[in-house]
Chains A and B, each alone.
Chain A
């Protein structure tokens, strides 16, 4: 019974489940490479920043990706150093999830020791606070 209710998606559905999001992300990346969110109107701003006037930990990510796609690594790091540092992990895990969904074969699993994830949480919250303090303006250059 359970097998019937939670049937695994068929191959075509699996490819769509992966293909559609990848196409959308790809389209977004093409747009991001061509247009700088800092000087075009159609990239949505951060709601947190709009309402509070303070930076959030993710502020600058889209502009940083724009710089990265155009080969300006240093500019990308200036806009959001934390997210640039996390990008390799997100890229690897995201690619692994895509492979797993499409073919049922993920990349070798990276099991992070729990303490690292708790530290990451603390770092994100600390980064959030610090980049709003003028003394640490280097973290909030966006």
Chain B
């Protein structure tokens, strides 16, 4: 959104202008739910379960850090831990998919080779 005072472009949910500190929207009223910082815990558990060990474990560590830092009021730290949790989920997921595809390719290759030798 544009600041009505100085015209600077601000982030859509910024509540103060980054340039002139003009208040762009009212601070959230008491009682409204606070920002939810995703901890990616369920994704981390899925990655741990579906054979991407030990790469799902760091994702769970970062998930725990997200909630720890939220409780401590360290929102910047929680956001960083959230990013790391997400990154490790993707690494674990990618590794799992890649190893499964390699395994599948090898198996299909072996089956086709056997099929050929039976034919002769």
Chain A interface (Cβ within 8 Å of chain B)?
A: 1-3, 41-42, 44-49, 56-59, 61-62, 80, 83, 86, 89-90, 93-94, 97, 106, 109, 111-114, 117-118, 120-121, 124-125, 128
Contact = CB atoms under 8 A, between A and B. Distances in A.
A80 B48 CA distance: 13
Nearest to B33: A109
Q: Which 3 A-B pairs have the closest CB atoms?
A: A93-B42, A44-B100, A58-B49
Q: Which interface class (under 10, 10 to 19, 20 to 34, 35 or more) fits B?
A: 20 to 34
A108 to B, nearest CB: 9
B119 interface: no
A46 B60 contact: no
A93 B67 contact: no
A118 B68 CA distance: 9
A103 to B, nearest CB: 16
A71 B45 CA distance: 23
B77 to A, nearest CB: 12
Contacts of B46: 90, 94
B64 A117 contact: yes
B17 interface: no
Contacts of A58: 48-51, 53, 56
Contact of A93 (B41, B50, B54, B68): B41
B71 A57 contact: no
B104 A3 contact: no
Nearest to A91: B42
Contacts of A48: 51, 53-54
B99 A3 contact: no
A122 B46 CA distance: 17
Contact of A112 (B41, B48, B54, B56): B41
Interface in B20-56: 33, 36, 39, 41-42, 45-46, 48-51, 53-54, 56
A1 B18 CA distance: 13
Nearest to A64: B49
Given A94-B42, A113-B71, A120-B60, 4 more contacts: A58-B50, A59-B51, A97-B42, A128-B53
